[in-house]
Amino acid sequence: MPREDLGQLTWPRLVGTTSGLVGLLLASLLGATAIGPAGVELAKVLVSGPPPSPDFVIVFEVRLPRVLLAALVGGSLAGAGCALQALLRNPLADPHILGISAGGSLAAVVAMVWGGALLGAAVTVPMAAFIGAAASTAAIFALGRVRGKIEPYTLLLVGVVYNAFAGAMVMFINSVVDLYQAHGILFWLMGSLSSKGYAVVFSLLAYSATGMLLLLARVHDLNLLALGEDAASSLGVSVERSRRTIFLASALLVGAVVSVSGLVGFVGLIVPHVTRLLFGSDQRLLLPASYLVGATFLVWADTLARSLIGGIEIPVGVVTALAGAPFFVYLLRREKQKLLEGA
């Protein structure tokens, strides 16, 4: 190792780690596509003259879009979580806990029930979810600031209240619509990735890619903002502009995800945290790595959700919440410990 080395991020490490994670994701996509209730023979899948064989249909029309969707949802949530944790300087930040997902889901429900006629549900629901998520982000941030400083615990409390409020509004809407719609909303809210076509995959891909590109363009700022606003500013960051971009990008990522898969909680919390433990805090590696780890994580979580109990599908949001809630308590306790030690 050369004398000049300070353990800093280098191109070989950045490229190597990212490629490794891409490989892992691709392998997971393949692996997860092969797993399912119906036995599928690879040879029969690939040899498929018209009319398409049942195996071809199962793999390419049912499983693959679902696995791809899981990857995009997981990646987007982890990317947004990673950015929000940096921006709010709070390792407990997560789109779900802060209430951004809930705000998006409220707007999405409104659009589902009343907005479908406007432009067609495929356009209005993600749009509404994005606007709802963006508005919630702005509101939560404004309420979580005390004398210009972001107080971690105030922010979490605001998130709790916001979640409760948006949840109540959704339940209210749910109770006034007809039973069929109510069931659809409920199942969607639980966080499900079932039976969506390629159109949804491509729509989410567009939102997800835009959000991530916006964040990657601000990747230095995400590092510098960890030092606090004054220090970031004195290092050349246009704090306000940067913050707006990061919020917008997070809202794009979260809004689109919510509109497709409802409330899949804790991915944005757990994944960046574990990724940080593995690869360090530098956002230039952490942000893309979080996305890839999040994508891989949700592909397997969804595979578990649809194959854990034979014949029954558990919403993937239930799986992530069951894993995530205890993890959050663990983090909270550790943060409290740190605060007490620091005092």
Which of 178, 230 has the CB closer to another protein? 230
Q: Residue with structure tokens 């069931």? A: 183
Which of 148, 311 has the CB closer to another protein? 148
Residue of the chain from 118, 172, 187, 281 that contacts another protein (CB under 8 A): 281
Q: Which two tokens stand for residue 25?
A: 């994701």
Q: Tell me the three-class secondary structure of 262-329, residue by residue.
A: CCCCCHHHHHHHHHHHHHCCCHHHHHHHHHHHHHHHHHHHHHHHHHCCCCCCCCHHHHHHHHHHHHHH
- Cα–Cα distance, 127 to 252 (Å, whole number): 9
Residue of the chain from 175, 230, 311, 343 that contacts another protein (CB under 8 A): 230
Binding letters toward another protein, positions 26-65, x by CB under 8 A: ----------------------------------------
| Least Å from the CB of residue 217 to another protein | 6
| Least Å from the CB of residue 97 to another protein | 16
Instruction: Rule CB under 8 A: say whether 284 interacts with another protein.
Output: yes
Q: Residue 91 corresponds to which amino acid?
A: P
Per DSSP, helices labelled H in the chain are: 11-34, 42-46, 54-57, 64-87, 100-110, 116-119, 121-144, 152-176, 179-189, 198-217, 219-225, 229-234, 239-261, 267-279, 283-307, 316-342
Residue of the chain from 58, 134, 224, 253 that contacts another protein (CB under 8 A): 224
Instruction: Rule CB under 8 A: say whether 276 interacts with another protein.
Output: yes
Residue of the chain from 56, 282, 307, 331 that contacts another protein (CB under 8 A): 282
Instruction: Rule CB under 8 A: say whether 337 interacts with another protein.
Output: no
Which of 264, 269 has the CB closer to another protein? 269
- The answer to whether the peptide bond before residue 51 is cis (omega within 30 degrees of 0) is yes
Interface residues with another protein (CB under 8 A) are 4-11, 14, 85-86, 89-91, 148, 216-217, 219-220, 223-224, 226-231, 233-238, 276, 280-282, 284, 338
